[in-house]
Structures are given as structure tokens and as C-alpha cells.
Chains A and B, each alone.
Chain A
Amino acid sequence: MGQRIFLSGLDWIIHALESATRRTCPTGNHSQIVLQLDGRLDHAALAEALNRFSSAFPVLGGRLARRWTLEPYWKVPRRSQPPTIRLEVSDIGGEEFWPVLERCANAPFLHDREYVMFQLFQGAGDTSFLVMKFDHRLLDARGAEQLLHLFNRYVAGEISLDELQTSCMPIRPSLLTHWKERFLSGRSLLRATRPLADCDIAGVVDGNSCGGDSSFIHLALDAEESKRFMDRAYREAGFLMFLPYALHLVTRAFDTVCRHSGRQGEYVIPCTVDLRGPDVPPDKMFFNYCSMLFFRIGPDEMNDPSSVIASLKTQLYNQRKEGLPEHFENVMALMRIMPVRAFDWMMCKHMRHCFGSFSFASVGAGFFEEGQFMGAGIVNIFHMPQVPPQTGLGFVFNQFQGRINVGVSFRENLLDSDARTKLSEQLKELCLAGAQKSRDA
């Protein structure tokens, strides 16, 4: 009998999303972190280091199982063969990097029990990209960044395999307790989300045409642009109000696409928030520690950017006061006893196949402040997540050494080339300068 790690409610949602994503696209619900480097890596040394490193994480060789009480858990096998992390190396010469990274993002894992793999793309010059692809069932975005960071520390000799083995094993209680409290949380959550289920959501998902590969738009702000962005955010939304400010910008960019394509309705935005705090302790690196906030903006509000910001701030305040992310976590702990397919069906039924206009996440500042990876300088770090089919489009913000990256991920069948161009141009304009212009200006 191996080790048993109980899954949280959010882990269970991720499993349901995995199931839904695989129905429309073979790649599943995974993501990738990209390290842009200013040097070439010794790939033999990298492969060898990955092999040694992975042996500290038996959780990478696990699989989903259920206890007799119906609680799902991650079964970590007790076996002599340690898990391995695969590395693929491609010399792409003078080929453009972006299409290569997109192809990599859309490539599935080799088999059902592969959850992490690396791909190294070496260019003609001194530029290379190291991609860490990860399955969301095992890692969320910040957990994955932490894993990569620990690998970097391991390679640099700052941390040993023994230390990794003892500090990184997750310990999680069953959570099938406090039933009354969880039912009360369910009541609060339903009260808060029922209006969302009834509203006419403007989104890019159209019936069953939510398949297709993911495409990506990436906007990397330099140090000066990022500083101006933060200054504007604090001036227009208030001190530390990055989240409402960034959310209002992407909503405005999305509004442009909707107007262009004649889509009408309210904007409903599920927003992922991390409950761990600014740090990711090694024992909370694997699995998911996020919850959700939901924002709603009426199309008429879009005429006045400052009222959109004010509305988002009020909604953030009210949801925190209600303890909505905690209620969500509480309720989902009970929902885990449902089979994944039944849970997936129920989510679709409740939200009428459209969970929101788009999804939003802010990963925040990363862990690589040292700026070096195996002797090469890190130019940038950014995320390329597969977007769930229920929204078809998502925005992700992250920061590296104070510089902001804005990523957009969307199912390529859902946006025509005109809409993509408009979205990209509008996002760039809003992030770089014109934050106070009204949408009709």
C-alpha cells in the first residue's frame, strides 16, 4: 500500500475540467511555464539532473483513486522504480520561436501517468527556451513555478535530494468532516452565484464548437512600461489594487472583441485566487490551493472605465467579506464524493455550458529573482495555459523581476483573425497607455 494524499475540492474541479477538456481536445487541462534564456543549456547535464531530481518526488508517479468512503485521493505507489521527468530537445535553428512554443503547448503528454515534462528549444544564436509542461491535476501555476525554482536550487547545489524528499511531501486531511458548516457554505455560495446562472453571458463559446487547439497572445512589458502600469493601477484603482485594475483592462479589451463580433450580454469572469499567501511552502507545492471569485460587469458600465474599476473593487470587497473563496473551498470538499462525470454534468447544467465570458488569473511575482538557470541568464518567465473549454478564452498575468507579462489563451476555432488582431491591439494599447480612454473615444 502506497501513500494516500486526499484531494481538495478544487483538485476535484480540476479533475472535472480535465475530463471536459479531453472531450473537446486531446491535450487535456495542462499548462506550461516558459523560461526564455540568453544562453544554450547543456542538455545532457539537464536530462541527468532532471532524472535525479524527479526521484525525490514519488507523487509524480501517482494516480487517482477512491477510498471506500468515496473520497478521492492521490495514490502514491510504493515501488522501487522512481518516477522520471522526460526531456525533449529540439534544435530549431532560425525558425520563429512563438509557433514552436504554441505547438508544444498543444502537444499531449505521452501517457495518462505523465504529469510533468520538459522541452528545450535551442535557437540559432544564444537564445533558448526551456518549457516545463505540467498537468493541472498535480500542480497549479505557482506550485509549478516553485517546482522549477527548487530544481534550479538543486542544480546550483543549494538544496539536497534528502531535503527535497522530506520537505515536499504533501500531507492533507480527508476533509469529509464538518458537514453542517459545509452545507451552510453551500447555501452562501448558491446565494452568491445563482444570479450568475440566470444572466445572459457574453462569451466566445458557442454551443458545442469549443474545440480546437489553443492559440496564445503574449505581451511582455519592459521595466519602464511595467512601472507605468503599476503607477496607473495605484492611481486609478488605489494602492495595491492590481487585480481590479488588470481585470478592468482585460474586460475592456474583451468588450472590443464582443462589439466587433456582435456578441451581447453581461460579462461574467471567474477569477482564480491563491489561498496560500505570497509564499509557496514546499509541502504545498503539489496539487491545487486556489479558489474562485466571480465578477460581473454589465455592458452599459463599459462606457465608463472608472465605474468598472469601482464596481470590481466593490465586488472584491463584498466577496471577501462574505468569505466566498472559503465557502467555495468548503462546498467543493463535499462535492468530491460525486463521480467526475456527474460533477462535470452538474457544472454544465448549472452554468448552461458557459461558465463565464473568460477566465482570469494573476500568478503574481515569481520565485526566480536570482535570474540564472544552469549558467544561462533568464530573460523572462511566462505562462501558457490551456484554457478550459467552458470559457474558451483566458487571461493570465505574471511578473518577473518587476516586469509584467500578459498572456491570452484561446481556442483557435472561437476567434477569427480579425478578432484576434483587435484583441491583441486593444490589450496592448490599454496595458501600455490609454487606460483612461472611454471605449467610444
Chain B
Amino acid sequence: MTEETIREKLVGRLAMLLKMDKDTIRPDARLEELGMDSMRFVDLFIFIENEFGVELISTDMQRADLETPQALAASIARNL
């Protein structure tokens, strides 16, 4: 799976979780500024686990790896 495909799927899921139009979510948008909170971030983790088989909880990701859909997609791609 390419990083671009991962990013698209992530943006689609984010749009669903945040009840936004996915076209309004830029890949470099900061999740915090999009209104992401703890519960929805955990929901995103569960989606990533189910969709890509990557358990983020058990990786050594830093804040910079998680802050935007773009960074998150790159991190997932590295851990596939």
C-alpha cells in the first residue's frame, strides 16, 4: 500500500470522525486544529490497527509522527 493511499484513507476516516467534508482536510493540517480530541484520536488508532494492521500503541512514534495526516501516513507506511 502506498503512502498516498494510506493518506487518502486516513483523511476519509478523519472526515467521518470529525463530521467534516473530506475535501476540506489538508494533508498538512494539524489534528489538534481540526478539533481532534482524545476519544476520536483513540478511534483513529483503532481504525489504523484494523485497516493497516499497525498497532501505534506499541510503536515508538513521537508527537511529530502523529500531528498531521501526512506525517501519520508516512509513519504508518514505515511500520507496515
Contacts and interface: CB of A to CB of B under 8 A. Distances in A.
Contact of A316 (B17, B38, B66): B38
A250 to B, nearest CB: 15
A365 B37 CA distance: 10
A278 interface: yes
A240 B17 contact: no
Which interface residue of B32, B35, B37, B40 has the most chain A CB atoms within 10 A? B37
Contacts of A362: 37
B41 to A, nearest CB: 4
A279 B35 contact: yes
Contacts of B20: 277
A276 B19 contact: yes
Nearest to B50: A321
Contacts of A279: 19, 35
B29 interface: no
Contacts of B36: 240, 278
Interface string B5-48: 00000000000011110000000000110111111111101100
Given A239-B63, A279-B35, A364-B37, A317 B42 contact: yes
Contacts of A273: 39
Given A276-B19, A277-B17, A317 B45 contact: yes
Given A239-B63, A240-B41, A321 B46 contact: yes
Contacts of A365: 35
B63 A278 contact: no
A244 interface: yes
A130 B60 CA distance: 47
A274 to B, nearest CB: 9
Contacts of B57: 317
A400 to B, nearest CB: 15
Contacts, number: 52
B18 A278 contact: yes
B18 A277 contact: yes
B38 A243 contact: yes
Nearest to A281: B19
A242 B38 contact: yes
A320 B39 contact: yes
A317 B57 CA distance: 10
Nearest to B43: A320
B35 A241 contact: no
Contacts of A293: 39
Contacts of B32: 240
Interface string A211-242: 00000000000000000000000100001111
Interface of B: 17-20, 31-32, 34-43, 45-46, 57, 63, 66-67
Interface of A: 234, 239-244, 273, 276-279, 293, 316-317, 320-321, 362, 364-365
16 contacts: A234-B63, A240-B36, A240-B41, A240-B66, A243-B37, A243-B38, A243-B39, A244-B38, A277-B19, A277-B40, A278-B19, A278-B34, A278-B35, A278-B36, A279-B35, A320-B39
Sorted from nearest, which 8 A-B pairs have the closest CB atoms? Answer: A278-B35, A243-B38, A277-B19, A240-B41, A239-B63, A320-B42, A239-B66, A241-B38
Given A240-B36, A277-B20, A277-B35, 12 more contacts: A239-B63, A239-B66, A240-B31, A241-B38, A242-B38, A243-B37, A244-B38, A279-B35, A316-B39, A317-B57, A320-B39, A321-B46
